Amino acid sequence: MVDWDWQVFCKDTIDGNIVPGCFGRSGDITYLDWLLSAWGWTLSVSALALLVALALGSLMGILRTTPNRWLVLLGNAWTELFRNVPLLVQIFLWYHVVPALIPPLRDVPSFILVVMGLGLFTSARISEQVRAGIQSLAGGQRMAGLAMGFTLPQTYRHVLLPMAYRIIIPPLTSESMNIIKNSSVAFAVSISELTLFALQVQEETSRGVEVYLAVTGLYFFSAFAINRLALFIENRVRVPGMIGGGGH
C-alpha cells in the first residue's frame, strides 16, 4: 500500500529536480539542506532558551527560599506570571503586542524574541523545581551552614545548592527535553525550524508521510540525546550516601 519516496529530500527547492548527491551546489538548496538547517534552528532556539531558563529559573527558585519576604514575593510573582499564560500566547505577546507598545523592540530579531519567550516560560517551571529541591532538604542544613559562620549566599553556594541540584536532575532532564519539543512554537514567528519545515515542505512536495517521519525522527533523536547526556551527568556527580545519590 505505502510507496515510499525518500528521494524527495534530494529535490531542489526551486525546480523540484533530483540533485545527485542530495546536497545543493552553488547557492541552490535541496530539501535535505533545508531539513538540516531547520534542525539547526530547532537546536539553537532550544539551547539558548535552556540557558536563559536555567539562569533565570535558578535565580527565581533561590529567591523563593530566602528569608526576605519581598524576594520571595518577586520569585512567586515571576513564576506564576510565566507559568499561567499559555506558551503560544506568550510568544505572540512578545512578537506582536510588546513591540507595538515599545517601538524599539520592533528591530529585535524574532529569533531573540522566541529565545526569550521560551526561556522565560521554562524559567517559571525550573524555578518551581529549584524551590522544591531546596525545600526538600532538612531545615537543619541551612542552620548548620549559618552556624558555621557562612553568610547566606555562602550557605547556598556550598551547602544547599550542591545537594538541591543533584536531587532535581531528573525533572530538569524532562524540562530540557520539553524545551526541544516546545521550540516548535517558533514556527509561529517565522523561525524556519523543523515544524515550519514540515508544514511547508509537505505542501510543496506532496510527500507528507516522509517529511513528517524525518522531522519526528530528528525531534526524537535530539530529545533522546539530551536524556542520555543528563543520565551521564547524573552518574558523574552522584555522591554515595546522599539523597538520590546512591546505594541503588
Partner 1 sequence: MIRCAAVVAFISLTTFAMPALAQDTGTLKKIKDSGSVTMGVRESSGGLSFTLGDGKFAGFHVELCQRALADVHQQLSMAKLDIKYQPVTSQNRIPLMQNGTVDIECGSTTNNAARQKDVSFAVTTYVEEVRIAVKANSGITSIGQLNGKNVATTTGTTSVQHLRKHERGAGVTFNEVYGKDHADSFLLLESGRAEAFVMDGQILAGNIAKSKNPHDFKIVGEVLAVEPIAIMLRKDDPDFKKAVDASLAAMMESGEMAKIYDKWFMQPIPPINTRIGLPASDATQAAWAAPNDKPMEDYAKQ
Measured from the CB atom, the residue of 66 and 202 that comes closer to partner 1 is: 202
Q: Which amino acid, residue 129?
A: Q
Per-residue cell: 93: 505577546
Segment (H or E) for 3: none
Cα distance between residue 200 and residue 144, in whole Å: 59
Per-residue cell: 206: 506532496
Q: How far is the CB of 197 from partner 1 (least distance, A)?
A: 10
Question: What are the beta bridge partners of residue 30?
Answer: 12
Measured from the CB atom, the residue of 96 and 228 that comes closer to partner 1 is: 96
Measured from the CB atom, the residue of 2 and 84 that comes closer to partner 1 is: 2
Measured from the CB atom, the residue of 66 and 192 that comes closer to partner 1 is: 192
Residues that bind partner 1 (CB under 8 A): 1, 13-15, 96, 99-100, 106, 187-188, 190, 192, 196, 199-200, 202-206, 208
Query: What contacts 91, CB < 8 A, 6 or more positions away?
Result: 113, 114, 117, 118, 185, 186, 188, 189
Measured from the CB atom, the residue of 174 and 192 that comes closer to partner 1 is: 192
Measured from the CB atom, the residue of 101 and 149 that comes closer to partner 1 is: 101
Q: CB atoms < 10 A from the CB of 29, how many?
A: 16
Cα distance between residue 28 and residue 15, in whole Å: 10
**In the block, residue with C-alpha cell 551527568:** 233
Which SS3 state, helix, strand or coil, does residue 243 take? coil
CA distances from 87 to 51, 109, 114, 180, 185 (A): 18, 19, 10, 14, 8
